[in-house]
Amino acid sequence: MRRSLRAIVATSAVAAVAFGSLLAVPAAQAADNKIVIWTDADRAPAIRYLFPNGYKGVPVEVVVKPFEELRDSLSKVTADAAPDVAIGANDWVGELAANGVIVSINLASSAAAGLEAGAVQAFNYNGKQYGTPVAVENIALITNANLIKKQPTTFADLSSQALALKKAGKVTIPLAVQQGSGGDAYHMYPLFSGLGGYIFGTTAKGAYNTKDIGIYNKTFAANSKLIDTWNSTGLINSKVTGDIAKAAFLAGKAPFWITGPWNLSDIKATKNLKYRITAVPPIVSGIKPVPFVGSQGFMLTKYAAAHGVESAARSLVSEYMTTEKAQYNLSAVNDRFPANKAAAARVTNPQLKAFGAAGSGGIPIPNISQMNSVWGPLGSAWVSSTRGPGAIPAAKAFAQAQGAVKKAIG
Amino acid sequence: MIQLLISRFGGLPATILKIALLSVVNALAIWAIPAMASNGSWVMMAFIVVATIALDYLLLTKRFIPAKYVVIGAIFLTAFQIIPIIFTIFIAFTNYSTGNIGTKPDAIEAIVRDSVTESDNSQSYDMLPATNASDDLVLILTPQAAVEETPAVVPGESTDPGTTEFGGEESSPPAEFGGEESSPPAEFGGEESSPPAEFGGEESSPPAEFGGVETPAPSASSDVTSGTDDLNVASDTEPSSLPPTYIGTSEGLDEIPVSDVTRDEFGTVTEVTGFPVIPDTELPAYDAEISAMRVPGPNGGYISPQGYTTAIELTPTLEYDEATDTFTSVQTGDVYVDAGRGAFVNETDPEDSLEPGWRETVGFENFTSVFTDPQIRDPFISVFVWTFVYAMLSVLLTFVLGLSLAVVLNKEGMKGQRIYRSLLIIPYAVPAFLSILVWGGLLNDDFGAINTVTGWTIPWLFDPFWAKVSILLVNLWLGFPYMFLVSTGALQAIPAELQEAARVDGARNFQVWRMINMPLLLVALTPLLIASFAFNFNNFNNIYLLTGGGPSMEGSEVAGATDILISYTFKIAFSAGEGNDYGLASAISIYIFFIVGTISLISFSRSKALREERP
């Protein structure tokens, strides 16, 4: 009996110590209001540099998370741990706005005028602005200058040069674009748009018109025979995955590679590789092949109001982040092309500039949630029409994809 | 050894250990309580309080000895099995999905907050937060001059293929975007051809601004000033053309006589007599008040602060009527009502609903939609059949191979037996994740090692039939070592006397195997085979990492040829539709639970019958 009593006394003592120390922690944290910014690891140093003393007198706390994790976390986080400002990609906007997590902002017309109009539009959802773009990125055609002396100006030229190299046994993959069995509609988009394809039309108000699906529109249908030619000549092969494409190009076994700036460091690290970065040359006359242009930007969350920092956070997103200084510094740390035109003009990295030029005319990735229903069928259409022997005709594959998307969106 | 330790463990060290562990549990509970209270998870909080107290009592008394063991097991069972199942069932009856994640009040708040728009004659204001005589917040507002600029991008009509284009030919500076068509593109890299300064430079030395050549760290106040400079474009310094200055309150705008206004050399208002400006350092304390401020504006909207220094007049597009619980569109007069489906829906157009919606109970809708929604229903049968075939064949093939190897390697006195056994376990030791990805590379039709080395042209991953073969082969590779291990164990557990007795009775080798070994093996292994079936029935990794469910199946846009129920569910719920549909995913997982549960139950009862036949 005495021992049991002792045990109870000891337990309460230990519990009391734990209790006291744990209570002390939240008390210390809940001191003052602060702007919490969620960002990826690349950009964190730039943000810390920009706000050494906070923003407008409000301390700024930077929380680093993997970029892809931010999207889900934003919809699931509890109010306490929630950020006031977060960086995100433009194609998350539809989902986050539909979940009511992010708050619309108003970009002053003078500030908006200083940004790439397409990037600003990319953060527009249902006619409202949900973020300030700070970076744009797109894929481009990388050419091995050792193998291709004269940069092709038409796709036919590209095709004949590449196939000649393949025939001579110098290369294994004439044009490296990553697909794999799951497909990759994003990397195929320059070819898709170059044949006249588009995904959604737009209404007069500028919103996406999900009733107007252009995967198998008349222009594309008329040009789709070219895909069958590419398949039969082996120019494009859906069995090329990201790894295979990269390995082949870096080893000099592929003269052309369609990829994005995220592979620049590997390209630069390859010895004796001379290369050019350009847009994909025109496939049919009158249509410019354009890539998807992804845009990343800062968004204001609904939690800022509850945290009592909405005014400061709103100003940080809608005013400060539009500035040349902010965007130039962000661009400097993560090798993305800034959305601010003045900052873009200051970019000295020639490769980055070349990627920017190749993205000219590109269209934003649609940010509506219906886009989820497009990636799969469109990617599959490319896979089944370019799988070499046994491929189904492109006209059939893309007509099916069109039907599938229509059915899925309803 | 360990058993000895456990049986001898007691006395003071045991008591101390018990108290220490219990303290940790208590401390965790105490730490969790405020967090849960702030989330409003009252049920969980109450559960934790009661459970902790009960646990303390139970473990500190000398009574209830059996309960000390049972209760702890029950707690873990509840925490890791029962609560997730209850949540899944609960979610299956709701419309929890993208666009319906919050509560109705949250949704109403969000709709009200975001249903404002800048009208064509929206006026922007320079703003100075100040206080009035009674110390209440007021805003000193000066209209900004209109900015001369190119109109914002107006997207084309509905036939326009692209939506908005980045950097058109005209608007973009020629230095960056214009020249790429005419001039040959620059070449990068190469050893001699490129000057090292061009590439080495930017990597090694950070950009000037970032490196701190420019004096960084502006104080808070100079930040505000420079911000005002930038935004206050084209303020005229001529006093005659200066815009009027207003005091904004929740009542409206009040013009101030020019004589009361002090301006700096740029014409920016700095002070107004009678309304002391709030110093920059104190602004953060007013933040919530500033952002909540709504000043009725001259154009029928209200002037809303956009930070500490600017404000803009916004017009609501929707109005909420609390009495009728409806939203009314200001422009069209359309009425949006709560139709009981977790969203405000246009009375005349059921397709038109407001975002965001909220979580609402929808009854059995998620369960019935498996049968009524053609998008889900149509491929369901073939996916269902393949799931069975896949799980059955996976178990059968791995078992046959594993058992055969076990029998072969079970021969007594075999040389190198240990080495062979160790080698066979390797596929089991390598993380499955890695093996599957490696197999994906090996099986690539044109570039994979298998076709390249053998000279075959088998479309391993691109043909529906061969993709299924690939899946089974890879699963065989991953699964046979397990079957090999358990079979070896079971074989060695069979008493040698039984076999000898059979031989004495005149049985031949095969008869011994069929009549003695096999039945005894099955008694031991049947539960494991059933477990293996259930595991493979839900073996998401293998499918997802190897084929991603592909290649696409004729006539189905969601399911691929190798999709099993669980990967198909994942696709419907998380990637094919419009965002994430947790409700539907939960409903299908409950179906899968019942399917696997039924099969396991039948198998177990049959295997029990098998055992009872033995004397």
The predicted structure's pLDDT at residue A399:
93
Q: What is the bridge-based pairing of β-strands A363-364 and A292-300?
A: parallel
Q: What confidence score (pLDDT) does residue A398 get?
A: 94
Give B514-523 contacts, CB < 8 A, sequence gap 24+. B517/B491, B519/B610, B519/B614, B520/B490, B520/B494, B521/B403, B521/B487, B521/B490, B521/B491, B521/B494, B522/B607, B522/B610, B523/B607, B523/B610, B523/B611, B523/B614
Separation in Å, CA of B560 to nearest CA in chain A: 10
Quick one: tokens of A403? 């039907």
Average pLDDT of the residues of chain A = 87
Is the pLDDT assigned to residue B473 strictly greater than 60? yes
Distance from CA of A149 to the nearest CA of B (A): 11
Taking the C-alpha atoms of residue A163 and residue A171, their distance in angstroms, rounded to an integer, is 9
Instruction: For residue B612, name the pLDDT band (cuts at 50, 70, 90).
Output: low
Whole-angstrom distance, CA of residue B314 vs CA of residue B299: 9
With a cut of 90, say whether residue A154 has pLDDT above it. Answer: yes
What residue has token string 């719920």? B573
User: Which region among B275-284, B466-475, B536-545 has the lowest average model confidence (pLDDT)?
Assistant: B275-284
Domain boundaries defined on chain B: 10-92, 104-115+318-358, 116-150+186-316, 374-613
pLDDT above 60 for A179: yes
Model pLDDT, residue B462: 82
- Using alpha carbons, select from B435, B380, B393 the residue that is nearest to residue B546: B435
Share of chain A above pLDDT 90, in %: 47
Amino acid (one-letter) located at A120: V
Q: Does B182 touch chain A (CB under 8 A)?
A: no
**Which residue carries 């707690």 as its tokens?**
B75
Non-local (6+) Cβ contacts of B258 within 8 A are B239, B242, B244, B245
Q: Which pLDDT score, from 0 to 100, does residue A190 have?
A: 95
Q: Which of residues 120-159 of A touch B (CB under 8 A)?
A: 120-122, 126-128, 136, 143, 145, 151
Residue with tokens 């965002």: B579
Give residue B393's pLDDT: 95
Mean model confidence pLDDT for chain B: 78
Q: Which two tokens stand for residue B209?
A: 């601004």
Give per-residue pLDDT as tens, A22-51: 554 444 444 468 899 999 888 898 899 899
Please say if the pLDDT value at position A279 is more than 90: yes
| For range B278-287, the mean pLDDT | 85
pLDDT number for residue A407: 81
**To the nearest 10°, the Cα dihedral for B38, B39, B41, B42?**
30
Q: Is A266 on the interface with B (CB under 8 A)?
A: no
Q: Do A206 and B557 touch (CB under 8 A)?
A: no
Q: Which DSSP category does A353 fall into?
A: H
Greatest Cα-to-Cα distance within chain B, rounded to the nearest angstrom: 124
Q: CB-based contacts of B50: which residues, under 8 Å, 6+ apart?
A: none
Task: State yes or no: pLDDT of B11 exceeds 80.
Answer: no
Mean pLDDT to the nearest integer, A223-243: 93
Contacts of B57 (CB under 8 A, 6+ apart): none
What band does B163 get if pLDDT is binned at 50, 70 and 90? very low
List the single best residue of A5, A181, A400 to mutate versus B (max B Cβ within 10 A): A181
User: What does DSSP say about strands A85-89 and A292-300: parallel, antiparallel, or unpaired?
Assistant: antiparallel
pLDDT in the model for residue B269: 83
Alpha-carbon distance values, A51 to A34, A56, A299 (Å): 12, 9, 17
What CA–CA distance (Å, rounded) separates B310 from A316? 12
Q: Is domain B374-613 in CATH 1.10.3720.10, yes or no?
A: yes
pLDDT band at B203 (very low <50, low <70, confident <90, very high): very low
**Three-state SS string across B293-330, please?**
CCEECCCCCEEEECCCCEEEEEEECEEEECCCCEEEEC
Query: According to the model, what pLDDT value does residue B485 have?
Result: 92
Per-residue pLDDT tens for A391-410? 889 999 999 899 888 887 76
Instruction: Return the pLDDT at B23.
Output: 87
pLDDT tier at B157 (50, 70, 90 boundaries)? very low
How sure is the predictor about B221, in pLDDT bands with cuts at 50, 70 and 90? very low
Per-residue pLDDT band for B74 (boundaries 50, 70, 90) equals confident
C-alpha A251/C-alpha A233 separation (Å) is 22
Q: CB–CB of B464/B561 below 8 Å? A: yes
Q: Residue B477: pLDDT above 90?
A: yes
B164–A117 C-beta distance less than 8 A: yes
Cβ contacts of A351 on chain B, cutoff 8 Å: 188
End-to-end CA distance of chain A: 73
| pLDDT for B557 | 63
CA atoms of B483 and B477, how far apart (whole Å): 11
Choose the closest CB to B288 out of A79, A310, A375: A310
Residue A13: pLDDT over 50: yes
pLDDT at B192 > cutoff 70: no
Sort out which chain B residues have CB atoms less than 8 A from A112's CB and list them: 152
- Reply yes or no on whether the pLDDT at A197 is more than 90: yes
Q: Do B306 and A198 touch (CB under 8 A)?
A: no
DSSP assignment of A364-406 equals EPP-SGGGHHHHHHHHHHHHHHSSSTTPPPHHHHHHHHHHHHH
Mean pLDDT of the B256-270 span: 83
Q: Are the beta carbons of B123 and B297 closer than 8 angstroms?
A: yes
3-class state of residue A140 by DSSP: strand
The pLDDT assigned to B134 comes to: 84
Backbone torsion region of residue B206, taken as left when φ is above 0, otherwise alpha when ψ lies between -120 and 50, otherwise beta:
beta
- Spatial separation of the C-alpha atoms in residues A60 and A313, rounded to whole Å: 10
* B38 interfaces chain A, CB cutoff of 8 Å: yes
Q: Give the CATH fold of the B10-92 domain.
A: Methane Monooxygenase Hydroxylase; Chain G, domain 1 (1.20.58)
- Alpha helix positions (H), B340-454: 365-372, 374-377, 380-409, 417-429, 432-442, 449-454
Q: Which two tokens stand for residue B343?
A: 């969203």
Tokens coding B484? 């090999």
What is the distance in angstroms between the Cα of A183 and the nearest Cα belonging to chain B?
Answer: 9
**A346 vs B385: CA distance, rounded Å:** 60
SS3 label, residue B254: strand
Percent of chain B with pLDDT over 70: 80
Q: What is the pLDDT of residue A255?
A: 95
| Interface mutation target, options B55, B166, B446, B451, chain A, most CBs of A under 10 Å | B166
- Report the residue from A98, A203, A312 with minimal CB separation from B287: A312
Positive or negative: CA dihedral B165, B171, B174, B178: positive
| B65 vs B317, residue with greater confidence | B317
Label residue B2 by pLDDT band (50, 70, 90): low
The rounded distance, in Å, linking the Cα atoms of A233 and A162 is 11
Strands of A127-253, DSSP E: 128-129, 132-138, 140-144, 175-176, 200-202, 208-213
State how far the Cα of B429 lies from the Cα of A125, in Å rounded to an integer. 49
Of A118-122, B50-54, B160-164, B610-614, the range with the lowest mean pLDDT is B160-164
Could you tell me the pLDDT band of residue B255, with boundaries at 50, 70 and 90? confident
Distance CA B612, CA B615 (A): 7
How far apart CA B287 and CA B285 sit, in angstroms, is 6
Q: Is the pLDDT of residue B176 over 60?
A: no
What is the interface size between A and B, counted as CB pairs within 8 Å? 397
In chain B, positions 41-60, which contact chain A (CB-CB < 8 Å)?
56, 60
pLDDT of the residue at A289: 94
Assign B267 a pLDDT band (cuts: 50, 70, 90): confident
Determine contact: A67 vs chain B, CB below 8 A.
no
Write the pLDDT tens digit of every residue in A296-314: 999 999 999 888 898 999 9
Give all domains of chain A, ordered by start, each with its CATH number: 29-137+294-358 (3.40.190.10), 140-290+368-409 (3.40.190.10)
Residues 6+ apart with CB under 8 A from B194: B187, B188
Element (H, E) at A325: helix A324-334
Residue B66 burial by Cβ neighbours in a 10 Å radius (0-12, 13-18, 19+): exposed
Distance from CA of A167 to the nearest CA of B (A): 17
pLDDT of residue B125: 87
Q: Residue B482 — very low, low, confident or very high, per pLDDT cuts 50/70/90?
A: very high
Cα gap A207→A256, rounded to integer Å: 36
pLDDT at site B150: 42
Distance of alpha carbon B106 from its chain centroid, rounded?
Answer: 21
pLDDT digits (tens, 9 = 90+) for B342-352: 889 988 888 78
Average pLDDT, integer, range B227-233: 39
- Predicted local distance difference test score (pLDDT) of residue B133: 84
DSSP-assigned beta bridge partners for residue A62: A37
Binary contact (A357, B34; C-beta < 8 A)? no
pLDDT reported for residue A363: 87
CA distance A193 to chain B (A): 9
